[in-house]
Amino acid sequence: MSSDTHTMKKQHTCNIILLLALFLFAAAGTALAATPGEIKVQADSAYAARKYEQARDLYLQLTKQGQSLGIYYNLACTYYRLEDYPNSVLWFERAAKLDPSDEDVKHNLAMARGKTIDRITPVHSMFFVSAWHSLTRYMSVTGWAYTAIYLFVFTLLMTGIYLWSQNIILRKIGFFSAIIGILLCLLRAPL
Protein backbone atom coordinates (compact mmCIF):
# COMPACT_ATOMS: atom_id res chain seq x y z
CA MET A 1 0.00 0.00 0.00
CA SER A 2 2.80 2.30 0.60
CA SER A 3 3.90 2.06 -3.04
CA ASP A 4 0.36 2.94 -4.16
CA THR A 5 0.31 5.92 -1.84
CA HIS A 6 3.72 6.98 -3.03
CA THR A 7 2.58 6.72 -6.70
CA MET A 8 -0.57 8.70 -6.00
CA LYS A 9 1.43 11.46 -4.26
CA LYS A 10 3.79 11.62 -7.25
CA GLN A 11 0.87 11.85 -9.65
CA HIS A 12 -0.81 14.49 -7.50
CA THR A 13 2.43 16.50 -7.42
CA CYS A 14 2.76 16.22 -11.22
CA ASN A 15 -0.81 17.44 -11.67
CA ILE A 16 -0.16 20.43 -9.43
CA ILE A 17 3.03 21.25 -11.34
CA LEU A 18 1.16 20.99 -14.68
CA LEU A 19 -1.61 23.26 -13.43
CA LEU A 20 0.92 25.79 -12.18
CA ALA A 21 2.75 25.66 -15.52
CA LEU A 22 -0.48 26.21 -17.43
CA PHE A 23 -1.39 29.08 -15.13
CA LEU A 24 2.04 30.67 -15.62
CA PHE A 25 1.83 30.33 -19.41
CA ALA A 26 -1.66 31.84 -19.42
CA ALA A 27 -0.53 34.70 -17.20
CA ALA A 28 2.54 35.28 -19.36
CA GLY A 29 0.37 35.29 -22.50
CA THR A 30 -1.95 37.95 -21.13
CA ALA A 31 0.99 39.98 -19.86
CA LEU A 32 2.60 39.85 -23.31
CA ALA A 33 -0.61 40.87 -25.10
CA ALA A 34 -0.52 44.51 -26.03
CA THR A 35 -3.20 46.85 -24.76
CA PRO A 36 -5.31 48.78 -27.26
CA GLY A 37 -3.36 51.93 -26.46
CA GLU A 38 -0.07 50.20 -27.25
CA ILE A 39 -1.47 48.78 -30.49
CA LYS A 40 -2.65 52.25 -31.52
CA VAL A 41 0.79 53.70 -30.84
CA GLN A 42 2.35 50.92 -32.91
CA ALA A 43 -0.17 51.48 -35.73
CA ASP A 44 0.39 55.24 -35.73
CA SER A 45 4.16 54.82 -35.82
CA ALA A 46 3.86 52.27 -38.65
CA TYR A 47 1.69 54.74 -40.58
CA ALA A 48 4.18 57.55 -39.97
CA ALA A 49 6.99 55.26 -41.17
CA ARG A 50 4.98 54.56 -44.36
CA LYS A 51 4.55 50.90 -43.44
CA TYR A 52 0.94 50.98 -44.51
CA GLU A 53 0.33 47.21 -44.63
CA GLN A 54 1.49 46.85 -41.04
CA ALA A 55 -0.54 49.88 -39.96
CA ARG A 56 -3.63 48.47 -41.71
CA ASP A 57 -3.30 45.15 -39.87
CA LEU A 58 -2.91 46.88 -36.52
CA TYR A 59 -5.86 49.23 -37.12
CA LEU A 60 -8.00 46.26 -38.19
CA GLN A 61 -7.03 44.54 -34.95
CA LEU A 62 -8.23 47.61 -33.06
CA THR A 63 -11.56 47.70 -34.91
CA LYS A 64 -12.36 44.25 -33.51
CA GLN A 65 -12.16 45.70 -30.00
CA GLY A 66 -14.77 48.41 -30.55
CA GLN A 67 -15.86 51.43 -32.55
CA SER A 68 -13.77 54.58 -32.63
CA LEU A 69 -13.87 57.53 -34.97
CA GLY A 70 -10.09 57.93 -34.81
CA ILE A 71 -9.41 54.26 -35.60
CA TYR A 72 -11.89 54.23 -38.49
CA TYR A 73 -10.48 57.47 -39.86
CA ASN A 74 -6.87 56.27 -39.61
CA LEU A 75 -7.76 52.92 -41.18
CA ALA A 76 -9.50 54.70 -44.04
CA CYS A 77 -6.46 56.91 -44.58
CA THR A 78 -4.25 53.81 -44.55
CA TYR A 79 -6.38 52.15 -47.23
CA TYR A 80 -6.23 55.39 -49.22
CA ARG A 81 -2.41 55.34 -49.05
CA LEU A 82 -2.48 51.70 -50.18
CA GLU A 83 -4.66 52.84 -53.12
CA ASP A 84 -7.42 50.50 -51.98
CA TYR A 85 -10.07 53.14 -52.59
CA PRO A 86 -13.22 51.02 -52.10
CA ASN A 87 -12.11 50.00 -48.59
CA SER A 88 -11.06 53.58 -47.94
CA VAL A 89 -14.57 54.77 -48.81
CA LEU A 90 -16.07 52.04 -46.62
CA TRP A 91 -14.10 53.08 -43.53
CA PHE A 92 -14.60 56.80 -44.15
CA GLU A 93 -18.35 56.14 -44.33
CA ARG A 94 -18.21 54.20 -41.07
CA ALA A 95 -16.34 57.10 -39.48
CA ALA A 96 -18.94 59.52 -40.88
CA LYS A 97 -21.70 57.48 -39.24
CA LEU A 98 -20.01 57.95 -35.87
CA ASP A 99 -19.60 61.71 -36.35
CA PRO A 100 -21.47 63.14 -39.38
CA SER A 101 -20.26 66.68 -38.63
CA ASP A 102 -16.53 65.92 -38.91
CA GLU A 103 -15.24 68.03 -41.81
CA ASP A 104 -12.02 66.02 -42.25
CA VAL A 105 -13.99 62.82 -42.70
CA LYS A 106 -16.35 64.49 -45.20
CA HIS A 107 -13.46 65.94 -47.21
CA ASN A 108 -11.45 62.72 -47.30
CA LEU A 109 -14.55 60.69 -48.12
CA ALA A 110 -15.14 62.93 -51.13
CA MET A 111 -11.50 62.51 -52.16
CA ALA A 112 -11.69 58.72 -51.90
CA ARG A 113 -14.98 58.63 -53.81
CA GLY A 114 -13.36 60.73 -56.52
CA LYS A 115 -10.75 58.03 -56.97
CA THR A 116 -13.34 55.25 -57.32
CA ILE A 117 -15.17 56.60 -60.34
CA ASP A 118 -15.40 53.85 -62.91
CA ARG A 119 -13.52 54.68 -66.03
CA ILE A 120 -15.64 52.84 -68.55
CA THR A 121 -15.46 54.08 -72.11
CA PRO A 122 -18.92 54.06 -73.64
CA VAL A 123 -19.45 51.78 -76.60
CA HIS A 124 -20.62 53.68 -79.64
CA SER A 125 -24.06 52.56 -80.70
CA MET A 126 -25.41 52.22 -84.20
CA PHE A 127 -26.72 55.39 -85.78
CA PHE A 128 -30.36 54.25 -85.71
CA VAL A 129 -30.14 53.47 -81.97
CA SER A 130 -28.75 56.95 -81.34
CA ALA A 131 -31.46 58.44 -83.54
CA TRP A 132 -34.13 56.48 -81.64
CA HIS A 133 -32.86 57.70 -78.28
CA SER A 134 -32.73 61.30 -79.44
CA LEU A 135 -36.25 60.98 -80.86
CA THR A 136 -37.65 59.57 -77.62
CA ARG A 137 -36.09 62.40 -75.67
CA TYR A 138 -37.61 64.96 -78.03
CA MET A 139 -40.92 65.16 -76.13
CA SER A 140 -42.17 64.40 -72.66
CA VAL A 141 -44.27 61.34 -71.86
CA THR A 142 -47.42 63.45 -71.99
CA GLY A 143 -46.44 64.81 -75.38
CA TRP A 144 -45.92 61.32 -76.72
CA ALA A 145 -49.28 60.24 -75.27
CA TYR A 146 -51.06 63.02 -77.16
CA THR A 147 -49.12 62.13 -80.31
CA ALA A 148 -50.21 58.49 -80.00
CA ILE A 149 -53.84 59.55 -79.58
CA TYR A 150 -53.65 61.83 -82.64
CA LEU A 151 -52.04 59.04 -84.67
CA PHE A 152 -54.77 56.63 -83.59
CA VAL A 153 -57.53 59.05 -84.60
CA PHE A 154 -55.69 59.67 -87.89
CA THR A 155 -55.54 55.89 -88.46
CA LEU A 156 -59.28 55.57 -87.81
CA LEU A 157 -60.01 58.39 -90.29
CA MET A 158 -57.80 56.83 -92.96
CA THR A 159 -59.41 53.44 -92.40
CA GLY A 160 -62.84 55.08 -92.82
CA ILE A 161 -61.69 56.73 -96.07
CA TYR A 162 -60.44 53.36 -97.32
CA LEU A 163 -63.69 51.56 -96.42
CA TRP A 164 -66.27 54.13 -97.60
CA SER A 165 -64.58 55.97 -100.44
CA GLN A 166 -65.59 55.26 -104.05
CA ASN A 167 -62.49 56.92 -105.57
CA ILE A 168 -59.64 54.45 -106.08
CA ILE A 169 -56.91 57.02 -105.38
CA LEU A 170 -58.54 58.02 -102.05
CA ARG A 171 -58.90 54.34 -101.14
CA LYS A 172 -55.15 53.75 -101.79
CA ILE A 173 -54.21 56.85 -99.79
CA GLY A 174 -56.53 55.77 -96.95
CA PHE A 175 -55.16 52.19 -96.96
CA PHE A 176 -51.46 53.10 -96.90
CA SER A 177 -52.00 55.99 -94.47
CA ALA A 178 -53.86 53.64 -92.09
CA ILE A 179 -50.98 51.13 -92.26
CA ILE A 180 -48.43 53.88 -91.56
CA GLY A 181 -50.61 55.20 -88.71
CA ILE A 182 -50.84 51.74 -87.12
CA LEU A 183 -47.06 51.28 -87.36
CA LEU A 184 -46.41 54.71 -85.85
CA CYS A 185 -48.83 53.95 -82.98
CA LEU A 186 -47.04 50.68 -82.33
CA LEU A 187 -43.65 52.41 -82.40
CA ARG A 188 -44.82 55.01 -79.88
CA ALA A 189 -46.10 52.35 -77.44
CA PRO A 190 -42.67 51.39 -75.93
CA LEU A 191 -41.82 55.00 -75.11
CA–CA gap between residue 173 and residue 163 (Å, rounded): 11
Q: Which of 18-22, 44-48, 98-102 has the lowest mean pLDDT?
A: 18-22
pLDDT of residue 124: 72
Q: Does residue 30 register a pLDDT over 60?
A: no
Under a CB-based contact definition with an 8 Å cutoff, are residues 79 and 87 in contact?
yes
Under a CB-based contact definition with an 8 Å cutoff, are residues 82 and 52 in contact?
yes
Domains of the chain: 36-115 (1.25.40.10), 127-188 (no CATH)
Half-sphere exposure of 122 (CA within 13 A, CB side): 4
Q: Does residue 29 register a pLDDT over 50?
A: no
Other Cβ atoms within 10 Å of 139 Cβ, number = 13
Average pLDDT of span 132-144: 73
Which pTM value belongs to this model?
A: 0.48
